[in-house]
């Protein structure tokens, strides 16, 4: 199998490439070729045993897409995007990257006769906007209330239509907010969800810009990689006309996050969180969905964590060799 990852220098793309390099497989299928594309040359998966190609290229560039399609990868993972706050601040860039680049890729596949790859499209919970029920079902309408959400919703509709016409074999994955993200905060409005845990676990202060009763939907980076791996070999006939699904996750309040941090790392870690209300961030995240019925994805075999403590422990295992600023307490 030949796997191409667009957006391979991002956190999820990097972790996916590293997992493929470590195991030589994706979704149980052997991988013998790996193509990594991002606007900055991806410096990941160098230990991959098969053929590896890393390119610094922009998906909105026609030459980039033509070169990729010429290789005819079996699976294309489309992770390239600019995040919510940046897409809201820069309308032109948001549509160019998040919509125009996606459509250009789909159009190139439409014209590639005899070639129909599995395409994993990274979508978002931002496709849903208020008013919505407390627990959003799988068949809830797409009602985005941000430019980013609108761009992702349009991508989902294109994925459905181009799959229906047989130009590609699409699987759309609506990722939960991924937590705890390693590294530094990004420009996403949701970035603080990771910061209030990651920084204290590393002995550093963090800022909480919203109230502790704000609830959201989460999964770990490990689960995110698992979603893509499973989607790569899923029997897409089971999806029917609706190619995108909300992935399973954990519904938790900020208070739930902080209490899980306390259980895992103690009061000293929690004391590193500083409350500084930010009305702009609060107004964005308080309008986001809070809980989901993901029976459809569950039935198709997608899996995630079931508690926030588990999410924190995944971070400690994957990023800190199982160690935090304080000795972990025994698992009950």
Strand partners, 36: 5, 54
Distance CA 18, CA 277 (A): 37
pTM, two decimal places:
0.93
Q: pLDDT per residue over 240-287, tens digit each? A: 999 999 999 999 999 999 999 999 999 999 999 999 999 988 887 877
What topology does CATH give the domain 2-175+220-246?
A: Rossmann fold (3.40.50)
Residues of the chain with pLDDT under 70: 62, 323-332
pLDDT of residue 328: 41
Q: pLDDT per residue over 301-329, tens digit each? A: 999 999 999 999 999 999 998 765 543 44
Catalytic member of 148, 162, 193, 315: 148
Is 95 among the residues known to form the active site? no
Strand partners, 172: 121, 244
């Amino acid at each position: 199998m030949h796997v191409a990852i667009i957006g391979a220098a991002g956190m999820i793309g990097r972790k996916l490439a590293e997992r493929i390099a470590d195991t030589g497989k994706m979704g149980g299928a052997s991988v013998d070729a790996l193509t990594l594309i991002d606007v900055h040359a991806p410096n990941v998966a160098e230990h991959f045993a098969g053929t590896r190609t890393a390119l610094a290229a922009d998906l909105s560039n026609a030459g980039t897409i033509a070169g990729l399609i010429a290789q005819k990868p079996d699976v294309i993972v489309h992770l390239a995007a600019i995040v919510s706050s940046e897409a809201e601040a820069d309308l032109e860039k948001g549509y160019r990257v998040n919509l125009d680049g996606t459509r250009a890729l789909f159009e190139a596949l439409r014209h590639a006769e005899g070639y129909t790859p599995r395409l994993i499209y990274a979508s978002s919970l931002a496709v849903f906007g208020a008013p919505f029920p407390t627990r959003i079902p799988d068949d809830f309408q797409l009602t985005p209330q941000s430019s980013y959400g609108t761009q992702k919703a349009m991508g989902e509709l294109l994925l459905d239509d181009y799959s229906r016409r047989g130009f590609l074999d699409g699987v759309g994955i609506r990722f939960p907010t991924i937590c705890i993200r390693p590294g530094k905060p990004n420009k996403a409005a949701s970035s603080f969800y990771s910061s209030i845990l990651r920084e204290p676990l590393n002995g550093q202060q963090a800022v909480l810009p919203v109230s502790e009763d704000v609830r959201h939907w989460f999964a770990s980076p490990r689960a995110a990689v698992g979603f893509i791996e499973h989607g790569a070999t899923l029997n897409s006939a089971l999806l029917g006309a609706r190619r995108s699904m909300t992935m399973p996750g954990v519904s938790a309040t900020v208070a739930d996050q902080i209490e899980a941090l306390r259980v895992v790392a103690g009061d000293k870690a929690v004391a590193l969180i500083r409350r500084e209300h930010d009305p702009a961030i609060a107004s964005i995240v308080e309008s986001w969905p809070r809980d989901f019925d993901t029976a459809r994805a569950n039935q198709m075999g997608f899996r995630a964590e079931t508690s926030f403590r588990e999410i924190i422990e995944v971070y400690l295992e994957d990023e800190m060799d199982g160690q935090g600023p304080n000795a972990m307490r025994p698992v009950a």
